[in-house]
Amino acid sequence: MRTIYIVDDDESVRRALRLLTVACGFKTETFSSAEEFFGVVPNSSSGCLILDIYMPGLSGWDAQKRVQVESSRPVILMSADKDGDFKDRANRVGAFGYLQKPFHDQELIDLLGRVFLN
């Protein structure tokens, strides 16, 4: 079963993305903060992490950095903000991909397809 972890401080976004990914056949767990995710999910459990960038506490960038150091977990960053070059930056810091909110389901499915192909 392909597992994905979604971290977003917006409850409705979490719920919608869980419904969508489950409908697409993924096993999905959601968290309201990066801290919560790190507290619950050990580095040893496989799965792709989808991280919102702007969150209270640990930001998406910070969390990605930690994941990078601790495991080989693929990370997808996403943001509703459109300042600057998030996509390039996400690439630079070693994230698997970047999603500009709001995004179409196909965009997400394609990206996840590539994650689990590897």
Partner 1 sequence: MAAKKYRQQTNELKVSKGQLKQGVDREKLGADREKLGADREKLGANRERLAQEQIHIRTKAMEAVSDGIFIMDAKTPDFHIIYANASFYSLTGYAKNEVIGCNYFLLYGSNADLRILEEIKQTIRHGKSFHGEMLNFRKNGEKYWSLLRIAPVRDSKGVITHYVGIKTDTTLMKQRDLEIVEQREELLHVTRVGKLAEFVSSLAHEISQPLTAILSYAQAAQRMLADREPQLQEILQYIISDDQRAVEVIRRLRSLLKKSKPTFEPLDINALIKDTVTLMMAHITVMNKVVKFELDIKLPLIHGDRIQLQQVILNLISNSLEAMEESSDSRILLIRTLRKTTDMIRVEVEDSGCGIPEENMKKLFVHFFTSKPDGLGMGLSISRSIIEAHGGRLDARNNTDQGATFFFTLPVNPMDG
* Site residues (vs partner 1, CB under 8 A): 10, 12-13, 15-17, 19-20, 22-24, 54, 80-83, 101-105
CB of 37 to partner 1, least distance (A): 19
- Chain centroid to Cα 107, Å, comes to 13
In the complex, least distance from residue 72 CB atom to partner 1, rounded to whole angstroms: 27
Phi, psi values for residue 38, rounded to 5°: -65, -30
In angstroms, give the least distance from the CB of 58 to partner 1: 19
Per DSSP, helices labelled H in the chain are 11-23, 34-40, 60-70, 86-92, 105-117
Give dist(CA 74, CA 30) in Å, integer.
Answer: 16
Closer to partner 1 by Cβ: residue 69 or 83: 83
- Nearest to partner 1 of 71, 87 (CB atom): 87
Rounded CA separation 109/118 (Å): 14
14 vs 58, beta carbon nearer partner 1: 14
Residue whose token pair is 């419904």: 19
Q: Which is nearer to partner 1, 57 or 102 (CB)?
A: 102
